Structure formats: C-alpha cells, structure tokens
Amino acid sequence: MFGAAALVVLVLAIVLLRGSWFATERDIAFSDFLSAVEAGKVQQVAIGDQALTVTLRGGRRVRTIPPTGYVSASPAFVSDLVHRQIHVVVQPRSEAGAFSFGAMLLALGFFALVGFTIYRVTAGRIPSLESRARVADGETPAVTFADVAGVDEAKDEVKEVVDFLREPEKFAAIGGRMPKGVLLVGPPGTGKTLLARSIAGEASAPFLFASGADFVEMYAGVGASRVRKLFREASKHKSCILFIDELDAVGRQRGGNSLSHEEREQTLNQLLVEMDGFAAHQGVVVIAATNRPDILDPALLRPGRFDRQVMVGCPDLKGREAILKVHTKKVPLAPGVDLRTIARGTPGFSGADLANLVNEAALLAARHGSTVIDDRVLDEARDKVLMGVERRSMVITEKERVNCAYHEAGHALVASVLPNADPLHKVTIIPRGRALGVTMQLPEADRHTHTKDFLETQVAVLMGGRVAEELFMGHMTSGASNDIERATEIAQKMVCEYGMSPLGPLMFRKSAGNAWDGDRAAGLSEDTARRVDDEVRTIVMRGYETARQILQHHRPAMTAVAEQLLEVESLDGGELKAIVDRFATRVN
C-alpha cells in the first residue's frame, strides 16, 4: 500500500518537475523565436514563469525558453511585441506555469487523490511543509575554477578546501586542519555561489544547496527541522559541500523583537548545534555566502564554525577582462573585438553584470539577424546593463575617483618608502562597503608587540591620504576621517598606555565618554590632561610632516601611481614598487 503511494508520488513529482508530460508544445530555440517575431509569424505570446508559450499564425503552438531573467530585465521586449500587434498574455507566477490549464486540472485531481491516500496511510502526518526546502539533490556541478575569473585571491584561499574534499582522511593524516565553515563575503553578483559550486566541481564532490531565506518561515520549528534535514542529507555523503546562500537571513544577531525572531533564533541555534555536531574528518564543508557580515551573530564566526572568511570583491580592470573572456567563450565573437576595451568601459560591473552583458549582446545580435557579436552590439548591450548597475551601486563622480586615486596613492607611497612599514599588499580604488578605496598592508609575521618606530610609521601612512589630497588636489575631503580617527587612536595609546612620550612611562587613564577631563579620580590633573593632549597632537603632526616630505619628494612617482590606479583600478605591492623604483632611479 505504501509502496504504491510512493510510486504515485514519484510519477507526480516527475510530472510537476518536468511539466512536459502533458504538454504538447514543441520547444524551439529562443533565437528562432526572435526570428519568427521579426518575420511576423507570431500571433500570441504567453509569458510563463520560465518559458514562453508561443502561438504562431495558423494556430500551431510552440514553447521557448528565454535566458534567465530576460523578460523581466528587458521592459522593451514586451512593448516591442505589443508594437507588432502580438497578443501578450502573462501567466500567473506558479510552478505550474510551464504547462497548460487542462494538464493542471488533471494534476490537481491527481494530487487530491494521492494526498488523500498518503493522509490515510500516514495517519494524518503529511510531510509537505518540510519538503519545500530547496535542498538541491547533491549532484556534482559541472563548473570548475576555470569558470570563475577575476577573483584569484579568493580562489587561492579555497584551494585547500578542494584538497581536503578530494581526500579527507589523507588531509587529516598530514595534520591539515580543515575549517568546517567558510564564509564568502562580497556584494551580490560577484560569483560567491559560482565559487562554491566550482569548489565542489573541482573536487568532484556533491553540492547541497540551501538558501537562508528558505529557513525563515512563519511556522515555528519548520526552519530548525529543515536545517536538521539538510545536515542529515550532507552526512550521507563521503564528502560534500553544503552551501547556504544568504546566510544573513538566518544568521542575524539574536535578540531582536520582530514577530519572526523567535523562529529565526531557533533556526540559528539549530545551525550552530549541527555545525558543532559533526567532526572535521567527516568531509562535510559548510560554505555560506553573505554580503552583510556585519550583522551576523558573532556565535557564527567562532572557531569551529565560519571561522574562515574569504572576500569576493568586485573585479578590477584585469578581472573584468578575464570574466568577459570566460563568458564570451561560448558565443561567436567577431574578429577584432577587444575585450580589454569593453572591460575599460564597465567600471563597477560585477561578474553577473558582465555575464548579463554578453547575454544581451548575443540576443541583440540575434535580433539584428547577425551571426557574430561585434563592438557595436557589445556597446549597445553595455548601455542596457549599465542602467541596472547605476541604480544599484554608489554613483561616483569622476572627480571623486581622481581624488580617491591620489588619496590611496598617498598611503601607498608613504608605506612603500618608510623602512618600518608593513609590506604593501594591494591598493585599490574599487569601492567596497562605504569606503571608496583601500590600501592594504600585510604584516610579514604576526606582530604581538609594536615598536615606537612602527607605530610612528603607521601614523605617517595614515596621514598620507590626507596629505596627498592637499598637495595634489588642493583641497581636503571628509574621506580621511577614518584615517584621522585611527591615527589619533594610535597616538593616544602611545602616550597614555605605552609610555612612548616625554611624559614618561605612566598610564594615563581616559574617562568614559572619550573626553579628557581633570577628574582627580581618574588620576589626571587638568594640567596633565592638557599635556597629554599636546603629546598626542605632536605625534600625529609629526606623522603628517613625514608624509608631506615623502610625497613632496616623490611627486612624479605619486602622479604615476595615481594615474595607473585610475587606469587599472588596483595595484599589488610588486607593481607599486616597480613604479616607485622607476622614478627613484630617474630622480637620482
């Protein structure tokens, strides 16, 4: 009896998923559909969830599948059809969108019958609430690292996961400590999901997918039970990737008081329990993605959980060119098309935007009846995608960009000239979060204590940004506020905690509220407080002066670095050093 019911469910599942069991429509290529429109052969188009059902003149019906998101992303598409006096019908959004009304009725009847059977067999326990969780089937994705471009650092960082997944036991035997959880952090469309899939693809490991939003339901307990189920599924494989997209949907800090917070907390707690529950050798690696690491519950980031964070940023010029190369591999590119030029014209585009651009170009080419994608079509596609990009991302004026380039070049140059500075890792003027640009230094070894020289150098490097603005742009911007805050903080510690000022090796306590006051209880006389202030000021100003001298002296190198930044958007330590060296020899 139960076996029979299971069989019926299976058949039904196939029908629902494929939709084509009843459907009589023949599938045609999307480009053929566009040609048919062009040729005036189309009478009606019914826009479904995933497919377009096309009625041709003469009554024949065919089906075609547009690229994902194409219809919603191309408002001109529908108006174009209407213009051609084609009847446009939009089918209600539903999973059944792909097949006809009659088939739907039939399926409904089926469903009622099967539901009733299951109801009787399982005495009322219908597990349908749980099974909606979008847990992918654990297939091995076909994508590899070759499909992910422009994020080389992130790829390097996750290579270890691949080694581990290939041979978990061996990895453990040679003492490799595998993080259980890897958190991919970056803005939407930069390839986080793609990267996670490619890790599984590289390692030939199954890939289980769930989205944080799937866990957040209004029914108490459903989310937690879905988490449990997901991990149970994962533990069935020898090794696998369990990917949780949009982790922030479940992983927000606990303690809110919205209606759904209790349910979310339960779900989050279950996730923590499950992550603690499986041993590292089990071969399950949990990878999660988010663009809001700042709102995650700190418990998620503790050792043994998502203790490794990998940044997946927006691509720079080189990165964009590499991504374009990946996506144009599958389309007929006209000879002479220079991807570098396209990359140059698409600052701020994410990987997804670039993929979209290539898609649009292919469609436009098809619509123009062309067999190759040329510069003109690529340009047109870019303008189309650009609208979406601008709406989403911070719009930066050219002036701000130039200012940012000089600001970051200032930090970088001071850091590369002063002997005690940490080596320069990367300078970029690609905005991330709220910052317009970043200069990153990487310590050669973990530092536990800092020398006075090192701290003074840090202050000078921090001042480099502001000094550059003054020297080269002739103005000051508020962009230096974070630098100023950090420099002041370092100087305060040097004076008040580390005893590195003429005031001597004494601890000067600061009262709460971040203001100095002469409160005797704090051990500071009014006079001392003023002297502390003076010393802090002296240290910061000395750093400012150091930075000013360096940047004055290296003017040509500064300009060269800033111009190069404007051109390619990011430089690594070696590239920067090459520029500085070139000018150093010329000056002498």
Collapsing DSSP to helix, strand or coil, 172 comes out as helix
Write the secondary structure of 147-159 as one string of H (helix), E (strand) and C (coil): HCCCCHHHHHHHH
- Candidates 186-194, 211-219, 429-437, 472-480: pick the segment binding Mg ion (CB under 5 A): 186-194
Question: Cβ of residue 569: shortest distance to Mg ion, in angstroms?
Answer: 23
By the criterion CB under 5 A, which residues form the site for Zn ion?
465, 483
Min dist. Cβ of residue 138 to Mg ion (A): 18
375: its two tokens: 């510069």
Would you count residue 193 as binding Mg ion (CB under 5 A)?
A: yes
Q: Which does 351 bind (CB under 5 to 8 A by kind): Mg ion, Zn ion, ligand ADP, none?
A: ligand ADP
Binding-site size, Mg ion (CB under 5 A): 1
Q: Closest approach of Cβ 5 to Mg ion, in Å?
A: 37
151 is in the binding site of which of Mg ion, Zn ion, ligand ADP, none (Cβ under 5 to 8 A by kind)?
Answer: ligand ADP
Does residue 225 bind Mg ion (CB under 5 A)?
no
- Comparing CB distances to Mg ion, the nearer of 184 and 547 is 184
Tell me the pairing of strands 284-290 and 438-441: unpaired
Of residues 351 and 431, the one with the C-beta less far from ligand ADP:
351
275-281: long-range pairs with CB below 8 Å, 24+? 275/180, 275/181, 275/304, 275/305, 276/304, 276/305, 277/231, 278/180, 278/231, 278/235, 280/172, 280/177, 280/178, 280/180, 281/168, 281/169, 281/172
Residue nearest to Mg ion (CB): 193
How many Å apart are CA 167 and CA 175, to the nearest integer? 13
What DSSP character marks residue 260? T
Given the residues 157, 408, 535, 569, the one annotated as active site: 408
Contact mark string toward Mg ion, 45..74, x via CB under 5 A = ------------------------------
Give the residue among 365, 387, 390, 384 at the shortest CA–CA distance from 375.
365
The binder of 149, among Zn ion, Mg ion, ligand ADP, none, by C-beta within 5 to 8 A per type, is ligand ADP
Residues near ligand ADP (CB under 6 A) = 148-151, 186, 188-194, 289, 323, 326, 351-352, 355
**H helices of 58-100, where?**
70-73, 75-83
Nearest to 427 by CA among 417, 414, 436, 440: 440
Nearer to ligand ADP, 139 or 519 (CB): 139
Q: Look up residue 238 and give its amino acid.
A: K
Backbone angles phi, psi at 184, to 5 degrees: -90, 120
Q: Residue 125 or residue 330: which is nearer to ligand ADP going by CB?
A: 330
From the list Mg ion, ligand ADP, Zn ion, none, which binds 465 (C-beta under 5 to 8 Å, kind-based)? Zn ion
Q: Is 212 exposed, middle or buried (0-12, 13-18, 19+ CB in 10 A)?
A: buried
CB-based closest residue to ligand ADP: 351
Binding mask 526-565 for Mg ion (x = CB under 5 A): ----------------------------------------
> How far is the CA of 23 from the CAs of 16, 49, 51, 143, in angstroms?
11, 15, 12, 31
DSSP result, 299-363: GGGSTTSS-EEEE-----HHHHHHHHHHHHTTS-BPTT--HHHHHHT-TT--HHHHHHHHHHHHH
Residue type, 324: L
Least distance in angstroms from the C-beta of 289 to ligand ADP:
6
Closer of 110 and 145 to ligand ADP (Cβ): 145
List the beta bridge partners of residue 309. 183
Nearer to ligand ADP by Cβ, of 185 and 275: the residue is 185
- Token pair for residue 501? 């000022």
408 is catalytic: yes
Judged by CB under 5 A, the stretch of 77-85, 192-200, 541-549, 550-558 that binds Mg ion is 192-200
Select 188 or 423, whichever has its Cβ closest to ligand ADP. 188
User: By beta-carbon distance, which residue lies closest to Zn ion?
Assistant: 465
What residues act catalytically? 408
| Contacts with Mg ion, residue ranges (CB under 5 A) | 193
